[in-house]
Structure 1
Amino acid sequence: MIIGILKEPVGESRVALLPDSVKNVISWGVSVLVEYGAGAKSYSPDPLYQEAGAEMKSRLEILQASDMVLTINPPSLEEVGRMKPEAVFLGQFNALFNQEFTQSLIQNQRTAFSMELVPRTTRAQSMDVLSSMATVMGYKAVLMAANLLPRFFPMFMTAAGSISPARVLILGAGVAGLQAIATSRRLGATVFAFDVRAAAKEEVLSLGAKFVEVEGAKEDKGAGGYAVEQDEDFLNRQKEAIHEQASKSDIIITTAQIPGRKAPLLVEERTVLAMKPGSVIIDLAASSGGNCALTQPAQTVEVNGVRVVGVDNLAGTLPQDASKMYGKNYLNFLKLIIKDGQLNLNFEDDIVAGTCVCHQGEAVSPRIAQLINT
């Protein structure tokens, strides 16, 4: 069996597998081909892959020779067409949101696994790329905000007087939000956090933040730990609570997303206008529409002295550790579908089935099947 690892597009610094992970895969009796320069931006030059036992090849050679192709971002549909018909494609395709790409995979009878579809179960935690990258993003978002904020994070007692701590509001207390809370607290800020999930309150409080509570949130045990869409009444009360807290905050970090849907609007334009000049909003949901009304993907917008940063691929700004975490998630998943050096797709396994976008033209993941049938 041959596994190919592609170089990511311009603007992406991560790589699907670092040399240490490649060494692991080769120990299973699998051959690995790596595109020239694939790990360069993750500080893993070609000689390190060769030392690990991989062969360096061109992109076209990898597409044509591999039984499985690994990426992070999806390649072009033209490149998918150059793969062997029976080859398996593994990456993070945002399959629920990127419906055109998903439909094309199905229509062209491809077999593809999209890692953001990994079920959020205890058994699948070691394969959860969303959680891994959310950890990176939550940490880096706070550092970005600290760099932009025109004042200190911690409280200082100086001969020139006292400096009060920065006030940070975190919207969404999933993995990214909790990491943002922890990092903000380490830097000495006073932190408030909001989440529609009641279970998040205990975690927020355990990290030393204060929980902003809005009663009456709808929850769905079948949502796999994700937030779900709320009714109009709750949304109105939520916006008022956020507006009140935001107008007193120096920094807002938004992390709220709903898989396969546009990100919920949490910070209205009036809220931005009510914030103090010099305040900063870091919107981690920019790629799916943004949690702030003024967010522009991959851009910084300044309104009334408030900077709104629509981040794009923040995980890629820490390419070494992000790639290491990503690769470990991939290795744990590959162990499920590679046995004795050969591909073995067991769709009776809930993780394998739940992560599979399609197999030979048929939708496999229940979430994908539901999407294409509606």
Structure 2
Amino acid sequence: MILGILKEPSPETRVSLHPEAVKALNAAGNKILIEKGAGEASFLSDEHFSEAGAELRSRAEVLKDAEMIFQINPLSSADHPQLGKGKILFGVYQPLVEKELMHTLAKTGVTLFSMDSIPRITRAQSMDVLSSMSTVSGYKAVLLAAAQLPRFFPMLMTAAGTIAPAKVLVIGAGVAGLQAIATAKRLGAVVEAFDTRPSVKEQVESLGGKFVEVPGAVEDKAAGGYAVEQSEEYKQKQSEMLEKSIVKSDVVITTALIPGKKAPVLITKPMLQKMKAGAVVVDLAAANGGNCEGAVNKETVIVEGVTIIGNSSLPATMPEDASKMYSKNVQNLLKLLLKEDQINLNFDDDIVKGTCITHDGNIVYEPLLK
């Protein structure tokens, strides 16, 4: 197969395939084309890719000649005329949000694999891009908060007196939340965590966090590890319980998302008014509307004396390792899809069926069809 790696649009700094993956795919008999400068923002030069066996080409040449095309962010409309039946596209497309784009791509005849739709099953863990990138986000969110907070994270005993440790609340104990808990604990903070799924309590406590439990949550095992919509009665109890933890916290990290829906607002302006002056909120759900009222995606704002960092793109702030992790996920998916250098689209396989969005001119992704 001929694989093509495209340069990401600014301000994205990651690259979809790392030289390590290129070397392995090339050794397996695949031809790799890469747009010139595709890895520069990830501190990976063209020479790194050339040494791994990739051929440097222009963007137009990659789009024209490659059978498989890799770009993390969705291709621009200017690239669409280069697509067509037989082309296979990989990226992060948010099919349940970008529905119109899915119909547009289906009309081109392209086969689209959206890496954010990898099923959350045991077999697919090594391909799970959302988990990999959430690991980066959870880690970096705490570092951003620590840089903005006008107080220390750890307890310090000095000649000038004892400094109490910072209090950190993590809302959402998925991959990002658990990494945030672990990082905040390593920095010496006192950590609490909340999640609507009681099953994650043990994981939170194993990392040294205290679990804030609100009885009565509905948990759906079929949701693939994600939170699900809760009743209005539960939401009211949740809000009251959360407010007690929020107002006493120095830092709040929010990660709560429900697939295909607007992020639930968990921190209201009245809560912000009661928080400590100088407190910091890092809203990792900002791109989906935000968990914190007043959060603005890709911006840092101050509301009621609280610094709110709205950033859903933290993996791009650590491009070298984030690219390596994303690339490994893609490489593992290709092990399933490529058999003796030929594409093998087995739609009876849960991973193929769950990740493929468009094929042969049609939308084939069941959640979108429903």
Whether the TM-score (by the shorter chain) exceeds 0.5 is yes
Q: Say if 1:354 and 1:364, in contact at 8 Å, map to a contact too.
A: no
Q: Say if 1:67 and 1:84, in contact at 8 Å, map to a contact too.
A: no
Q: Say if 1:66 and 1:83, in contact at 8 Å, map to a contact too.
A: no
Q: State how 1:95-106 maps to structure 2 within 5 Å.
A: 95-106=95-106
Q: Which residue of 2 aligns with 1:59?
A: 59
> Which 4+ stretches in 1 moved above 3 angstroms?
none
Instruction: Provide the rounded CA distance (Å) in 1 between the counterparts of 2:108 and 2:78.
Output: 11
Q: State how 1:297-316 maps to structure 2 within 5 Å.
A: 297-316=297-316
Instruction: Say whether 1:125 aligns with 2:129.
Output: no
Q: Which residue of 2 aligns with 1:282?
A: 282
Q: Say if 2:83 and 2:108, in contact at 8 Å, map to a contact too.
A: no
Instruction: Provide the rounded CA distance (Å) in 2 between the counterparts of 1:117 and 1:45.
Output: 30
Instruction: Provide the rounded CA distance (Å) in 2 between the counterparts of 1:183 and 1:342.
Output: 42
Secondary structure at the residue paired with 2:198? coil
Q: Which residue of 2 aligns with 1:364?
A: 364
Q: Which deviates more from structure 2 when the two are superposed, residues 202-211 or residues 73-82?
A: 73-82
Q: Which residue of 2 aligns with 1:83?
A: 83
With over 3 angstroms needed to count, the CA separation of the structure-2 counterparts of 1:314 and 1:96, relative to structure 1, is: same
Q: Say if 1:196 and 1:217, in contact at 8 Å, map to a contact too.
A: yes
Shift of 1:365: 2.5
The one-letter amino acid of 2:152's match is F
Unpaired segments of 5 or more residues in structure 1?
none
Instruction: Provide the rounded CA distance (Å) in 1 between the counterparts of 2:84 and 2:97.
Output: 26
Q: Say if 2:39 and 2:45, in contact at 8 Å, map to a contact too.
A: yes
Q: Which residue of 2 aligns with 1:157?
A: 157
Instruction: Provide the rounded CA distance (Å) in 2 between the counterparts of 1:126 and 1:146.
Output: 31
Q: Which residue of 2 aligns with 1:200?
A: 200
Q: Which deviations, in whole Å up to 9, do the C-alpha atoms of 1:194-236 show, x marking residues without a partner?
A: 0001111110011111011101111112111100011111111
Instruction: Provide the rounded CA distance (Å) in 2 between the counterparts of 1:31 and 1:8.
Output: 20
Q: Say if 1:66 and 1:84, in contact at 8 Å, map to a contact too.
A: no
Q: Say if 2:80 and 2:108, in contact at 8 Å, map to a contact too.
A: no
Instruction: Provide the rounded CA distance (Å) in 1 between the counterparts of 2:367 and 2:309.
Output: 31
Indicate the percent of aligned positions where both proteins have the same amino acid. 53
Q: Which residue of 1 aligns with 2:219?
A: 219
Instruction: Provide the rounded CA distance (Å) in 1 between the counterparts of 2:120 and 2:151.
Output: 39
Instruction: Provide the rounded CA distance (Å) in 2 between the counterparts of 1:341 and 1:108.
Output: 24
Instruction: Provide the rounded CA distance (Å) in 1 between the counterparts of 2:242 and 2:140.
Output: 23
Q: Which deviates more from structure 2 when the two are superposed, residues 38-47 or residues 361-370?
A: 361-370
Secondary structure at the residue paired with 1:100? helix
The one-letter amino acid of 2:99's match is Q
Q: Which deviates more from structure 2 when the two are superposed, residues 30-39 or residues 105-114?
A: 105-114
Q: Say if 2:15 and 2:72, in contact at 8 Å, map to a contact too.
A: yes
Q: Say if 1:149 and 1:278, in contact at 8 Å, map to a contact too.
A: yes
Instruction: Say whether 1:44 aligns with 2:48.
Output: no
Q: Say if 1:170 and 1:180, in contact at 8 Å, map to a contact too.
A: yes
Q: Which residue of 1 aligns with 2:244?
A: 244
Q: Which residue of 2 aligns with 1:142?
A: 142
- TM value normalised by structure 2: 0.98
Instruction: Provide the rounded CA distance (Å) in 1 between the counterparts of 2:156 and 2:359.
Output: 59
Q: Say if 2:283 and 2:312, in contact at 8 Å, map to a contact too.
A: no
The one-letter amino acid of 2:45's match is P
- TM value normalised by structure 1: 0.97
The one-letter amino acid of 2:114's match is S
Secondary structure at the residue paired with 1:235? helix
Q: Which deviations, in whole Å up to 9, do the C-alpha atoms of 1:306-332 show, x marking residues without a partner?
A: 101101410111111100000000000
Instruction: Provide the rounded CA distance (Å) in 1 between the counterparts of 2:205 and 2:231.
Output: 26
Q: Say if 1:2 and 1:68, in contact at 8 Å, map to a contact too.
A: yes
Q: Which deviations, in whole Å up to 9, do the C-alpha atoms of 1:170-216 show, x marking residues without a partner?
A: 00000000000000000000000000011111100111110111011
Cα RMSD after superposing both structures: 1.0
Shift of 1:35: 0.3
Secondary structure at the residue paired with 1:75? coil
Shift of 1:149: 0.2
Q: Say if 1:64 and 1:84, in contact at 8 Å, map to a contact too.
A: no
The one-letter amino acid of 2:43's match is Y
Q: Which residue of 2 aligns with 1:258?
A: 258
Shift of 1:358: 1.3
Q: Which residue of 2 aligns with 1:6?
A: 6
Instruction: Provide the rounded CA distance (Å) in 1 between the counterparts of 2:67 and 2:236.
Output: 51
Q: Say if 2:84 and 2:109, in contact at 8 Å, map to a contact too.
A: no
